[in-house]
Amino acid sequence: MSNIRHPLTIEFALLGFVRQQPMHPYELYQRMHGDSALGEVWRIKQAHLYALLRRLEDEGYLMSATSSQGNRPPRRVLSITERGRARFAEWMRTPVVRGRDFRLEFLAKLYFAHQEGEATARFLIAQQRWICRRMLDDLDKQVATIAPDQPYRLVAQFRRGQIQAMLAWLETCNKELALVER
C-alpha cells in the first residue's frame, strides 16, 4: 500500500480562495458557506477545514502570519505560497478523468477558471469535452463486448447517459460564455 497522500479537491478550492486574497481561517470558513457558489456544492465542518488548512501549510502551499487586532486576540492570516499558486493553477486547468468527479471537482475548477477569465474557462471546457468524448468511446467499446442479457450492460449504458449529459452541459457552458463575450 502506498503512503503517498494526494490532496483532496476541497483542498485545492481552499487554495483558490486564499489565492484571491490573504484571509484568516474563520473568514475562509464563512466564505465557503456564505456568498460562494461552492458553498452549495460542499459542506465542510469548521474543525475539518482548519485541519485541511494546517495540512496545506505543512505541505508548503500556504503560509501564515499572526496579525494583532488591538484588544482582541491575534489572528492567524493565511496567504498562498508560490508553490501553492503553481499547484493550484495546474489543478484548475486539468480536466477530471472520472465521471464521478465531475459534480464536485469539475464544478470547482470551472468556478475558479471563470474567475481567471473567459479564455481559461474555455480552455478547461474544451479539455473536459475531449476527455468526455474519450470516455464515451471507451464505454461504447465496453458495451459492444457485453452480451445483451448481462446486467452490467445496463450499468454501462447508464454511465454512457451520464457522460452524454455532461457533454451537453459543457456545450451549454460554451454558449453561455459566448453570450457573455458580446
Of 68, 92, 116, which residue is a domain's last?
A: 92
Q: Same domain, yes or no, for 28 and 114? A: no
Give, in order, the Cα–Cα distances in Å from 181 to each of 119, 124, 176, 177.
Answer: 11, 17, 9, 6
Rounded CA separation 66/148 (Å): 64
pLDDT for 5: 54
Looking at the structure, do residues 16 and 44 belong to the same domain, yes or no? yes
Is the four-CA dihedral 58, 62, 40, 126 of positive or negative sign?
negative
Q: What is the pLDDT at residue 1?
A: 45
Same domain for 146 and 83: no
- Would you give per-residue pLDDT tens digits along the chain (182 residues)? 445 555 567 888 899 999 989 999 998 888 877 756 666 777 788 899 999 999 999 999 999 998 777 788 888 999 999 999 999 999 999 999 998 889 889 998 999 999 999 999 999 999 999 999 999 999 999 888 988 888 888 888 899 999 999 999 999 998 888 777 65
165 and 124 in a common domain: yes
Same domain for 2 and 86?
yes
Asked whether residue 103 falls in the same domain as residue 181, the answer is yes
* Same-domain status, 23 and 73: yes
Q: Which of 92, 114, 132 is a domain's end point?
A: 92
What is the domain extent for residue 66?
A: 1-92
Question: In total, how many domains does the chain have?
Answer: 2
Contact by Cβ (8 Å): 147, 140:
no
Q: Which of 31, 22, 34, 33 is nearest to 76 (CA)?
A: 22
CATH number at residue 39: 1.10.10.10
Query: What is the pLDDT at residue 6?
Result: 56
Whether residues 80 and 163 fall in one domain: no
The predicted structure's pLDDT at residue 182: 57
